[in-house]
Structure 1
Amino acid sequence: MRSSAPKGSKARGGAQKPTKAGTLVTKAVEAAAKPPKPRKPPAPPVTRNNNLPEVTIKVQRKAGYKQGPFDRKMRALQRLSDDGKLFKQANPVARNDAITKAYKQRVREAIWKKYWPHDKETSRKLTDKLDTLDPDHVWELQLGGADDASNLRLLDADTNRDIGNQIWQQIRTLPDGTPIRIEVVD
């Protein structure tokens, strides 16, 4: 006797045909179960090579940037370049994600210590805002900065990543150790 069940449905011990959504979920679960791709080992660090010509990197100020934090970051990089400290570091740079995680956690704990429980609304607003911020290496790692908590400040995540990408796109083909000067363009 033939089944009256619609085509593709479970019939007489057969497995149900997976739906499109079910297939997507299955793929997402499989992807999550895979171990993350290992990072390339860091390159040996280099120092500034003053025998190479200095290269000026132009960082464009974009409309979405918050002016104060962007200006603070750029002033710091310009001071470092005026002092002759910026250079293209070998890539990939040595980076310890635990340092930035711990920095952000200390900020979160400071917010809660100051505002909780007497001002729950402020503590929630500040911790929600914290989720949109990155611990930013003020002296960029790719420009010879240290991966240290003393080199970290909070910066809007999108701004931080965009500035880093703007710099990387201009220095990636330069020889390691190339002296760098920073210029802001509007």
Structure 2
Amino acid sequence: MSFRFSGKNFIPFHKAVIPVCIALGACVSDQATYQATGDTGVQIGYTPDAAPVNRRTGMPEPGCWALDYEPAVTETITQNVQTQREKRDRDGTVTEPAIWRSETTTRIVTPRQTLNFETPCANMLTEEFLTSLQRSLQARGDYEGTISGQMDRQTRMAIRQYQVQNGLNSAYLSLENARALGLVEVPRPPETETSAPETPETVPEPDVTDI
């Protein structure tokens, strides 16, 4: 299960950072806070560039494809960094307190990813098909809207919520998930011709007559 598919916005989380003194004298306090950010689903949709190219033939793969992008997830870290150590006299009394400053850094937790997957063709997305889709998503608790047979925003959100559970963070319905919902027939493997087993020839027994 990958980090990128949560179905919802990433939740801020906190960690404690153990103070570590560096040779130069800088230390990091244990007041660091971490926050993960990043909205999901920069949608591109059905474009001529969506079909992947077959490496063997150099031609686009047949069928209908969707192209979607999931933006990078970044982590913002705010921590207090000691810029000057405290000063003490010979008796150990603090004469000058330590000086700290707040420092914020950002790092990429998950880089931006391209989502490229096969999807039901546009001529399949009829009102009857979308009605069945909404009912299937409703039965699974992912769709709470009206059964309208229209691909509206609420239906898109329900598609994403369902597909995230299967590892695809996109509001475009994949062909694989359409099959899992029972909306598209699963292709059968090609049948192999089997020849009937050969039966050994039986030689008739000769008639035996008494002489």
TM-score bin, normalised by smaller chain: under 0.3
Which one has a larger percent helix, Structure 1 or Structure 2? 1
Larger Rg: 2
Q: Per chain length, whose mean CA-contact separation is higher, i.e. which structure has more relative contact order (CA < 8 Å, sep 6+)?
A: 1
TM-score, normalization: structure 1? 0.20
Which one has a larger percent strand, Structure 1 or Structure 2? 2
